[in-house]
Structure 1
């Protein structure tokens, strides 16, 4: 008779008491595992309807804003200016203002409306036939008056002021037996900047706002999708199956790289659409400088977002249900919103400091490059600082991710995640 066989209940278990290949155990080494995960993330995001709809809507908004700016820049404003009784000085002033408008390419058109007297001039203003009435003041020493139904348009006022000054100067010069050229000799004024930049403050603010918005959309939108993807896989227990075939650090690396590629591609699409659209607007002259700044922004975003993606993946791993995400992602959301508001409104020394602070330097340093305020080596140093931040963020996140991903039963804290990974 064969003796009964006694099976050791602990046979085949690892040191932690887990079946090899079971959930939470170290999967066999697979150098290509992270590539598979990365490809899966890219495909899933590329086929996600919410992502695609958001991308199309954002591109449409950018194109619409640029089209509006182009329309505003090309729109011609017509101003009819009333003069009374064939006043030759007023008529000449309006014509001079029109010539100045053409020379300055202000898209303003001035025409003369000659009426009989003051009552007819007021009637023309009331009926909307004219925008303003140019006439002498009651006291000749007070010069001229520009009357409107309400406050006269600022562009019209500026042009008529310059035209009137030119006409009066010519009259006074003729009366004095000289010429305007002799009186104004040596008075030409040109502008220059020490930094050599051709970007004015208004355009710089617009550019910084646009870069901050690109950062906000890319970081927040893609980050939330990473966290959501992690918690969905965790809640459905799919991650326990994946963990038997893919090492957790490979799973994290694939998610970081896949999501970063998609987020970067999204921002590149936005940037290209924006540049093409701006080429049809009055700001087309700054495109070379803006293009250089955008190259730095894309490079900074590519590096910095990998660190943010790792932190968002941990935020998803710390949650056990989708409802927990609002709590676990709040610190990242608040940080991104703070960077968004600070970077496009910062100036002076504060802006310089921000250009070296991860992750704010993703926006602040390209803006300084655009303004001409940064020396050639400053973006390089700032990028190295961002690389160091990203490496630390990924290393710290990798440990917390491994410790939290397979734990369930409510929200998990960072301390508990670190303890589980040790």
Structure 2
């Protein structure tokens, strides 16, 4: 049997005064509780450290030069020396040192014992790069280019021409209709970051908010709170408090990411990336507020903490759909869904980053998201207000919607 707990009547004169300050007090309490939560603080610091470490690794790896030792006998030394001279010009992360070998058996022994990374030798009319147990891809690529260029120069000399003339008209370059290869690769990584941060922040703060609501309901503290402040003000305070924390955390992560990006070889893209990052933060605000209201409803529908998992299942599935949709949608489907709330919170900033969306498209998607967020908050407010003081078991949304005030 479901019991309705009705708070004492509040005079019309008192409610506006209480309402004006109530939501701010609740929001402040939500912020203070979170900022004194050791798990929350450690999680935030850990994420910042991970972002900084990843950016640091990117900067270190991009500037790192790997030196390979290549064994060669006297007969093949000239090509090995050419490889050592030209390697950095082909790939600035690859350097080659030549190690002399008395004969093929000695060269094999150097590679087998780890004193040389590879053995460069000629077998008939083919150059062979022998390694021990696995191929060194970077060294192989550089060697192929150097040997090809040397062969072209020799053949051109025999024909009385130049290597450039022999290759005239045979070069194929690549280009993208939108942006360039480096930006496309960077966009892919940042798009994943957008989706991941939205997913983690929404679930982390959402589940915490739902548990907070049901704990207050289960311990009957909410009955005391409801005698002092309007229930809708309690909801507004919880949404604003948790949203402020989530937004502050996103701004912190974005700032650390942009500073880290400026220290990598992609530093020239910081300006181009900053705009989409700001758009992401704006979309995140609207999307998170709407979802926070629904998480509060998920907590209010439950009567015990064990029931939150059940009442929050539709929300969890929706957040997962946003995450995986932002990763796997492509083409026309991606364009269409980028206007659909709450998917637009991640997909539209991603399209701006990729250069496949114009600013006016972002404004249209943001307007639709704001309208949807407003409608969701209004519906959530009614569900929350009518289910918060209901005890006796878990409620469905239909029951909550038709429950008495």
**Above 0.5 in TM-score?**
yes
CA deviation digits over 1:183-231, x for unaligned, max 9?
3456666554332456444322211111111101111111111111111
Indicate which of 103, 106, 111 corresponds to 1:120.
106
2:194 matched to 1:214?
no
Determine the structure 2 residue equivalent to 1:360. Answer: 343
Q: Distance in 1 between matches of 2:179 and 2:185?
A: 17
Q: Could you say which residue in structure 2 is the equivalent of 1:45? A: 34
Q: Which one of the candidate residues 159, 163, 168 is aligned to 2:146?
A: 163
Structure-2 separation of matches of 1:82 and 1:201? 39
Change (3 A) 1:44 1:375: same
Match of 2:286 among 294, 297, 303: 303
Partner of 2:268: 285
Q: Secondary structure at the match of 1:368?
A: helix
Change (3 A) 1:307 1:181: same
Deviations along 1:362-406, whole A, 9 cap, x unmatched?
111111111111122111111111111101110110000011000
Question: Shift of the alpha carbon at 1:145?
Answer: 1.6
1:328 deviation in Å? Answer: 1.2
Give 1:166 shift: 1.1
Residue 254 of structure 2: aligned partner:
271
1:62 aligns with 2:51: yes
Task: Note if contact 2:183-2:269 (Cα within 8 Å) is conserved in structure 1.
Answer: no
Match of 1:384 in 2: 367
Question: What's the CA shift for 1:18?
Answer: 7.3
Q: Which residue pairs with 1:321 in the alignment?
A: 304
- The correspondence for 1:109, drawn from 67, 79, 95, is 95
Deviates more, 1:312-321 or 1:42-51: 42-51
Which residue does 1:4 correspond to in 2? Answer: none
Tell me the SS of whatever aligns to 2:142: helix
Cα distance in 1 for partners of 2:336, 2:70 equals 52
CA separation of 1:52 and 1:17: change in aligned 2, threshold 3 A: closer
Task: Please state whether the residue corresponding to 1:149 is helix, strand or coil.
Answer: coil
The answer for the alignment partner of 1:98 in structure 2 is 87
In structure 2, do the counterparts of structure 1 residues 18 and 81 end up closer, same or farther at CA, with 3 Å as the change threshold? Answer: closer
1:28 corresponds to which residue? 15
Which has the larger displacement, 302-311 or 86-95?
86-95
**Does the 8 A contact of 1:96 with 1:166 survive in 2?**
no
Would you say the 8 A contact 1:240–1:406 is kept in 2?
yes
Give the conservation status (yes or no) of the 8 Å contact 2:179–2:354.
no
d(CA) in 2 for partners of 1:83, 1:397: 75
CA contact (8 A) 1:95 1:163 kept: no
Structure 1 residue 232, shift from structure 2 partner: 1.5
Between the aligned partners of 2:380 and 2:88, the Cα distance in structure 1 is 65
| Cα distance between partner residues in 2 of 1:132 and 1:18 | 82
* Whole-Å separation in 2 of the counterparts to 1:19 and 1:403: 16
Alignment size in residue pairs: 399
One of 321, 325, 328 as aligned partner of 1:345: 328
In the alignment, the residues of structure 1 paired with residue 378 and residue 273 of structure 2 have an alpha-carbon distance, to the nearest angstrom, of: 34
User: What's the offset of the Cα at 1:87?
Assistant: 2.3
Match of residue 7 from structure 1:
none
Return the offset for 1:416.
1.4
> Tell me, what secondary structure is at the counterpart of 2:266?
helix
State the Cα deviation string for residues 105-135 of structure 1 (Å, max 9, x = none). 3x21111122122111111111111121222
Matched with 2:64 is 75
Where is the helix percentage greater, Structure 1 or Structure 2? 2
Q: Alignment partner of 2:70: what SS?
A: strand
Provide the C-alpha distance between the structure 1 equivalents of 2:160 and 2:332, rounded to a whole number of angstroms.
55
- TM-score in terms of structure 2 length: 0.92
Using the TM superposition, give the Cα deviation of residue 250 of structure 1 relative to its aligned residue in structure 2, in angstroms: 1.4
Deviation at 1:359, TM superposition (A): 1.2
Structure with more relative contact order (C-alpha pairs < 8 Å, separation 6 or more)? 2
Match of 1:335 among 318, 322, 335: 318
Of 233, 240, 249, 2:223 maps to: 240
Q: CA deviation at 1:89?
A: 4.4
Verify the 8 A CA contact 1:196 1:372 in the aligned structure 2: yes
Rg bigger for which structure?
1
Gaps of 5+ in 1: 1-15
